[in-house]
Amino acid sequence: MTLPDCITIEEPAPGYPVYVINHPAATARVALHGAHVMEWTPSGQQQPVLYLSPQAVLEHGKPIRGGIPVCWPWFGGHPVDATKPMHGIARNRLWELERADAKEGHVAMLFKLESSAETRALWPHDFRCYLGVSIGASLEVSLMTENTGDAAFTFGEALHTYLTVGDITQIKVSGLHDTHYLDTVGERTMRHQDGDITFDREVDRQYSSTGGTVVEDSSLGRTLVVNKLGSGTTVVWNPWIEKSKRLADLPDEAYHGFLCVEAANAADAAVTVQPGGRHVLLTQISLPSVV
C-alpha cells in the first residue's frame, strides 16, 4: 500500500509498526498493534489531547497504556474466566491497515481484524471488526463489529480514551448529571450523579448514558467535548495514587495528568448482533476553539 506523504512508519520494536501522521491539521501516532491511536495533537495545541504513558510497553501481545485502547469483545475482566485477557482480545493483536487517505482537513485510516483459530480459542465466534480513524482538528474513532457466523453473539466494548489534563483536581466533567452509575471502587455499588464530576480520590464509574460529556480543564485553559454514538455506557476513570503505584507501565504520579472518558457498552448495555448484522460504536473528541 502506498501511504500519503504525511504518513511515515517507525518501528519502536522489530515487527511493531507505528504510523506517524504529520498533517497541517494535526499530528498523531497509530500503532498497528491493537489499531491503537497512541497520540493526537491538533494544530495550535501545546499539549497533546491524548495521554500516552512514558512507560507504555510496546511489545506484541501487551496492551499500550494510554491513547485509545480498543476493549472488545468484553470490557474489564472476562465475566466467567479470569484467566482470559483483561478487556478482551482486540487490543493485543495486530490488525491490518486496509486504507489510508489524506484530505485537506484530515487523515483517514481504516483497520481490520477478523476471527481466526487463535481468537476462537478465546472467544468462540466468527467476526470481522473495522476500526476507522479520522485525524484532524477533531479526532473520530469508530469500531464496527460484524457477525460473520451463523449464530447471534453478545459482546461488550469500549474505546478506552485517555485524555491529557493539566491537574486532575481542577477538572470538571459535565453531561452526566442525574444519571445512575456503577461505582466499582471498593464494593460495587449503584449510585446517582448529582451535578458535575470532580476528582479528589480514585474514580472508576460506569454511567448509564447515551449522551456526550464536556471536560473543563482550567489548568490547561481548554475544554474537550467528547461525543459518542452507539454507546449505552460512559466510563469515567482515574486511578489516583495507590492504583498508579501498582501499575508498572504508569509513573506513580501520572494520575495528576490524565482522565479516561470512554464510549462503551458494558454490563446491561452489552450488544447482541445477529448473523450478518453489525454494530458501530463511535467516539469523537473536539476542542470548540479549534473546530
Enzyme catalytic residues: 160, 262
Tell me how far CA of residue 285 lies from CA of 208, 276, 278, in angstroms: 20, 30, 24
Cβ contact 48:162 at 8 Å: no
- Distance (Å, rounded) from C-alpha 94 to C-alpha 100? 17
Name the grid cell of 75: 470490557
Burial readout 161-200 (b: 16 or more C-beta within 10 A, e: otherwise): bbbbbbebeebebebbeebebbebeeeeeeeebeeebebe
- Distance (Å, rounded) from C-alpha 110 to C-alpha 275? 23
DSSP state of 88: B
Cβ contact 37:64 at 8 Å: no
Cβ contact 100:7 at 8 Å: yes
**Cell 461488550 belongs to residue:** 156
**Residue among 134, 6, 166 at smallest CA distance from 68:** 134
DSSP state of 201: S
Work out the number of other CB atoms within 10 angstroms of the CB of residue 133: 23
Handedness of CA 122, 127, 130, 131 (dihedral sign): negative
